[in-house]
Structure 1
Amino acid sequence: MATQPLQLQPDDGKLLTSAVARIAEFWGLTNPRLGAILGVSESTASRLRSGKAELDPASKSFEAAQFLLRLFRSLDALLGSDDLSARAWLTTTNLDLDAPPLELIESFKGLITVCDYVDAHRARV
């Protein structure tokens, strides 16, 4: 049985943009850092956070935002919805990853690596 590709809905960009803005708030991400994570400029990150722009479902930044949401949800489940613990985990050097996760997620490859790392630890729980 062949699987059908995920069909995006018209509001998906708006919903994901809103989720990313909340994640940035919870984790204390600056506009330059959020921009680096999403692969957009600091000013675009600012517009996304303020609701003056939204992520385009056909863009690479939309895909990065999906991974950021995945990381947020995984950490939230692993740490019991403790945003301070999540922020501390993100900013502390991780011996397995050899860097603070927050630095790694500024590249797309690093974001995927950190997501996979957290998901692997969730699987053990």
Structure 2
Amino acid sequence: MASAAITHQTAPAAAGLQTFSSDGDRKRLTGAAVKAVLRLVDAWGGSNAEGAALLGVSESTWDRIKAGKWDGTLSQDQLTRASALIGVFKGLHLLFADAMADRWPRLPNRAPVFGAKSPVEAMIEGGIPRMLETRQYIDALRGGL
């Protein structure tokens, strides 16, 4: 059991994925991550509540972020969410024309990962694990799997 916990904790680093554990990295990446998430939530037609839930912040913090009045640093969890969402956005735009890429996250989807919900709903309900599964699902579609 202990080895499973260790494997789980080190899996992102072992796979070459960014863990966002360094304060310096989080400070350096926050501005770009926030801008990208604002852009993709807008492109997907997301509400303030959805944007806040996807990024893992309160609605009042989301409002400050949107107004350019937030000067905080995203947490490791929030940067992981942003990274997954950016990957979903980029993957969709590689897979589909822009209009469809921006509509797809709002459409009900029967794939098992989404359970007949829209990907946005599924990602909000499922948090980081579902966001990463969504990114993997899109990457698999792009790869023809």
Identity percentage of aligned residues:
27
Structure number having the greater helix percentage: 2
- Residue 4 of structure 2 corresponds to none
- Residue 71 of structure 1 corresponds to 88
TM-align CA RMSD: 2.6
- Residue 141 of structure 2 corresponds to 121
TM-score by length of 2: 0.72
TM-score by length of 1: 0.82
Q: CA deviation digits over 1:76-98, x for unaligned, max 9?
A: 11113x1x312331122111132
- Residue 132 of structure 2 corresponds to 112
- Do the aligned residues in 2 keep the contact of 1:21 with 1:49 (CA within 8 Å)? yes
Task: Name the CA shift for 1:10/1:29 in 2 (closer, same or farther; >3 Å).
Answer: same
- Residue 27 of structure 1 corresponds to 44
Runs of 5+ unmatched residues, structure 1 = none
Larger-gyration structure (1/2): 2
- Poorly superposed stretches of 4+, deviation over 6 Å: 2-5
Task: Name the CA shift for 1:118/1:32 in 2 (closer, same or farther; >3 Å).
Answer: same
Q: CA deviation digits over 1:5-53, x for unaligned, max 9?
A: 8673753211111111111221111110011111111111122222222
